[in-house]
Structure 1
Amino acid sequence: MKVFLLLGAIMVVVCARPSDTRAQTYPEAPAAYEYQYGVLDDESGNDFGHEESRNDQATSGRYYVLLPDGRVQTVLYSVNGEEGFVADVSYARRR
């Protein structure tokens, strides 16, 4: 019983001590980035990729993947304010 009381007292002391109030702050800045990648491996048949760019609230991009039936599925998308996520999906035979 004494052990439980001792552990309880230690928990109260640990929880009651003031936390570190030094918080890292960062300046407000609009998000801006671009990236892309692609994989083409003839041995395994993998062919897929993705590219995206963002400037403040406007984001747009494209990703594609080679499907098992030989078609390439491509998704063009944008994310913009009240419109939300808008996608256009298309299929084409492999190049």
Structure 2
Amino acid sequence: MTPRIFLCMWLLYSSASAMPAPQGEEATTMMPMNYNFEWNVDSEDYQNYYGQREAADNGRVEGVYYVWQPDGRLRKVEYYVDGDSGFVPTITYVDAYEPAWGTTAFDK
């Protein structure tokens, strides 16, 4: 009787292991969301002048940020990310920059 039990157990195990593994959910491809935003700090009292603007359209992100540095220069970084490009910046400086308080560097 023991060989019959062993044979039945072996057949049960063999048939169960031969069944295909359950498949997970199919991967869904989601399109990137489009967005845009802008913020800035414009405080003459505290001498803070910086901000950022960014927008995404069909997976391509473009933006710019600026900061008025303690040495009086304005640093402006324009950037984009497109597909697998990664972060691609272009950095410029404006020497002896004087903020026009009440506006942003985007306005210039």
TM-score normalised by length of structure 1: 0.66
Q: RMSD of the TM alignment (CA)?
A: 1.6
Distance 1:80 1:39 in 2: 28
Name stretches of at least 5 consecutive residues in structure 2 with no aligned partner.
Answer: 1-29, 99-108
State the shift of 1:38 in Å.
1.1
- Match of residue 93 from structure 2: 91
After the TM superposition, which parts of structure 1 deviate over 4 Å for at least 4 consecutive aligned residues? none
How many pairs does the alignment contain? 69
Matched, 1:46 2:31: no
Based on CA coordinates, which of the two structures has the bigger radius of gyration?
A: 2
Instruction: Name the one with the larger strand percent.
Output: 1
- The answer as to whether partners of 2:67 and 2:74 remain within 8 angstroms in 1 is yes
Percent identity, aligned pairs only, is: 32
Aligned pair partner of 2:74 in 72, 80, 84: 72
